[in-house]
Amino acid sequence: MDKKRHRELEKILKGVASHRRVQIIDLLEKEPELSVLDIAEHLAIDFRTASEHLRKLVIAGIVMKRSDGAAVRHALTVRGKNILKFCRTLE
């Protein structure tokens, strides 16, 4: 692997380096197209906390955002689905 690939892997791993982020990607697999508010309510966490975790997941390419009028919806990317599948092999 080259240095660029190492940095990309670091970005991905940092993206899921929180139990809350793993909870979010697990939730989005079950219920795609949720807003930040929906996610915060499902996980009983603060809106700002959910928003910050989602921001990091988007940067890592694990979650994608889609505008839906005034709302923003979130769903897993292929990378996100693969990471969740990998995480389940660790159980």
Question: Any idea what the CATH number is for the domain that residue 25 is in?
Answer: 1.10.10.10
CB-CB contact of 11 with 59 (8 Å): yes
Total domain count for the chain? 1
Domain span including residue 76:
3-89
- Residue pLDDT, tens place only, 2-59: 888 898 888 888 888 899 999 999 999 999 999 999 999 999 999 999 999 999 999 9
pLDDT at 74 over 80: yes
pLDDT score at 26: 96
pLDDT score at 2: 87
69-81 mean pLDDT: 94
Burial classification of residue 15, based on how many CB atoms lie within 10 Å of its CB (0-12 exposed, 13-18 middle, 19 or more buried): buried
pLDDT score at 3: 87
pLDDT score at 33: 95
- pTM (two decimals): 0.89
The span from the CA of 30 to the CA of 17, in Å, is 20
